[in-house]
């Protein structure tokens, strides 16, 4: 109450909005030579996610999903490559992408350097 008296109603409303904003739903993907675990991701449309990516492999891998990423709202777009089609992961890299999936549907997931070796998966937005 002291904060309301000191900073007024706008500050109180701002504090309530911050408190009411739910934390992003966590989802983790581990990349190894040559697979994604899990290899199929399911998202709920309109839910904000923190997708935690880890590269446990000895090679560079990419989280390549151009159609999915194009329809999603990405809160930290600097994590994406220049074309906004993938996230490049060096060996040992750990990165989080904050996103809200866009259009419901099914999308391809692959490592653009290793899809020929079976490093592929899928994404569903319900």
pTM higher than the cut 0.85: no
Give the pLDDT confidence of 61-83 residue by residue, as tens digits. Answer: 999 999 999 999 999 999 999 99
Residue 33 sits at φ, ψ, to 5 deg, of -90, 100
Q: Which domains does the chain have, with CATH numbers?
A: 23-125 (2.60.40.420)
Cβ–Cβ < 8 Å for 63, 109: yes
Across the range 23-30, mean pLDDT stands at 96
pLDDT for 21: 73
CA 37 from centroid of its chain's CA atoms: 15
């Amino acid at each position: 109450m002291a904060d309301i008296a000191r900073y007024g109603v706008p500050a109180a409303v701002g504090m309530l909005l911050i408190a009411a904003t739910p934390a992003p739903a966590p989802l983790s993907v581990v990349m190894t030579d040559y697979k994604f675990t899990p290899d199929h991701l399911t998202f709920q449309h309109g839910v904000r996610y923190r997708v935690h990516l880890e590269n446990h492999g000895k090679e560079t891998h990419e989280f390549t999903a151009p159609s999915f990423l194009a329809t999603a709202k990405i809160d930290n777009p600097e994590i994406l490559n220049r074309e906004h089609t993938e996230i490049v992961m060096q060996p040992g890299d750990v990165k989080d992408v904050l996103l809200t999936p866009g259009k419901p549907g099914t999308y391809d997931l692959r490592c653009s350097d290793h899809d020929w070796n079976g490093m592929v998966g899928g994404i569903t937005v319900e």
